Amino acid sequence: MFGSLLALLVSLLLVGAAAVTGHAFAPTAGGST
């Protein structure tokens, strides 16, 4: 039960981190996405 919750939290954190780094680096890379 807690395992699935933890997995969901981790995935959300990873997606959030990817979004933040994407927004940070997209203008310099010329970026779409």
CA distance 6 to 19: 20
Predicted TM-score (pTM) of this structure = 0.54
Higher-scoring residue by pLDDT: 20, 24: 20
Higher-scoring residue by pLDDT: 14, 22: 14
pLDDT of residue 29: 57
pLDDT of residue 10: 93
Nearest to 16 by CA among 6, 8, 27: 8
pLDDT of residue 17: 83
Contact between 33 and 24 under an 8 Å Cβ cutoff? The reply is: no
